[in-house]
Amino acid sequence: MTVTEDTLQLDTPLAVRIYAAAPVRFDTPLVLHLHGGSFVYGSLDAGHTVSTLLAEAGAVVVSADYPLAPGTAFPKTLQILTKALNMLAQKRGKWAGKKSPLFVAGEEAGGNLAAALALIARDQRTPVLAGQILLSPMVDPSLATRSIREAEAGPVGCQWADGWHQYLGTADQACHPYAAPLGSSRLGGLAPALIVTAEDDPMRDESVAYAERLRASGVSVRHQVLPAPTGWPCALVDPDYSDGPVEGWTTKLREAFAQFLAGTASFLCPPPATHPIRA
């Protein structure tokens, strides 16, 4: 495994960490990865476990240290990440191969951002994505599901409620499909999705609901619910978990990544545009 630091020279430089576990080929999958942290915390270190598993599954991973709310919130965060994704698409040979299929991936809040980037790529018709990998994604700001209630995560003192509030700023932003993908009325034409959650994951029900809605819209979906205990989504942002006592789910996740990356390499994503990001 090689891990290097780099910076994407956007309007505001974006620090990234590059993971590669095998010799790079002309068609090695290239993944833009976004860490979790409820929109308000997290770092490149928080993305280490998932980035490592993706690289071990055969990808080159560009993990981004995106700016956090409330300093940078919706839609500015997505505007920055859209530019980063386009740069990876245009210069993919710098990190992987000139014909490398391009993916987005993220866990928890990063899963929200990855899902939103897939929507934007569809609407703007560029870049062509081979797939989206969403782990315990935050796609529903209502926080009204059974799995959230089982986690005893209420509106007061709940890290996810607080994170949504800081990211959205005002309640009306939750109506935008790029902010809350589960509420989107149009999900057809998206890149294939791998959606993974767990029995003990507070985001379990919204993950399952998003997988079902994508499938009903004609999107190719691979969906998996891992057995408990996993400690998701917090375990996903713990850089020590890849070598910790939960090797069971890391092994399953690595296998799921490898199968998904191998099975979507030839996908092309055509689609019409509708929902621009509001300035």
Does any domain span residue 186?
yes
- Region of 108 (left: φ > 0; alpha: ψ -120 to 50; beta: rest) is left
- How many structural domains is the chain composed of? 1
The residues pairing with 225 across neighbouring beta strands, listed in sequence order, are: 197
| Structure confidence at residue 263 as a pLDDT band (50, 70, 90) | confident
Give pLDDT tens digits for 87-130.
999 999 999 999 999 999 999 999 999 999 999 999 999 999 99
Token output for 128:
């062509």
Q: Quick check: 278 pLDDT over 80?
A: no
Whole domain around residue 181: which residue ranges? Answer: 2-263
Is 270 among the domain residues?
Answer: no
Per-residue model confidence (pLDDT) at position 267? 40
Q: What is the CA radius of gyration of the chain?
A: 17
For residue 194, give the nearest of 110, 123, 135 by alpha carbon.
135
CB 36 within 8 A of CB 236: yes
The amino acid at residue 36 is G
Residue 274 belongs to a domain: no
CATH number at residue 155: 3.40.50.1820
pLDDT band at 270 (very low <50, low <70, confident <90, very high): very low
Indicate yes or no: pTM above 0.85.
yes
What was the pLDDT predicted at 57? 97
Residue 272: inside a domain: no
Instruction: Report residue 219 CA to chain centroid gap.
Output: 17
Neighbours of 116 (CB within 10 A): 30
Is 193 in contact with 134 (CB distance < 8 Å)? yes
Residues forming a β-bridge with 194: 133, 222
**206-213: long-range contacts (C-beta < 8 A, 24 or more apart)?**
206/137, 206/138, 206/139, 206/140, 206/145, 206/147, 206/182, 207/134, 207/136, 207/137, 207/139, 209/140, 209/145, 209/182, 210/115, 210/134, 210/137, 210/139, 210/140, 210/181, 210/182, 213/182, 213/187
- Find the Cα–Cα–Cα–Cα dihedral 115, 81, 65, 141, rounded to 10°: -40
In a domain, 276, yes or no: no
**Would 273 be classed as within a structural domain?**
no
Could you tell me if residue 268 is inside a domain?
no
Going through 96-220 in order, the beta strands assigned E by DSSP cover: 102-107, 131-135, 193-198
Q: State residue 240's pLDDT score.
A: 81
Mean per-residue pLDDT over the chain, rounded: 91
Question: Domain for residue 45, yes or no?
Answer: yes
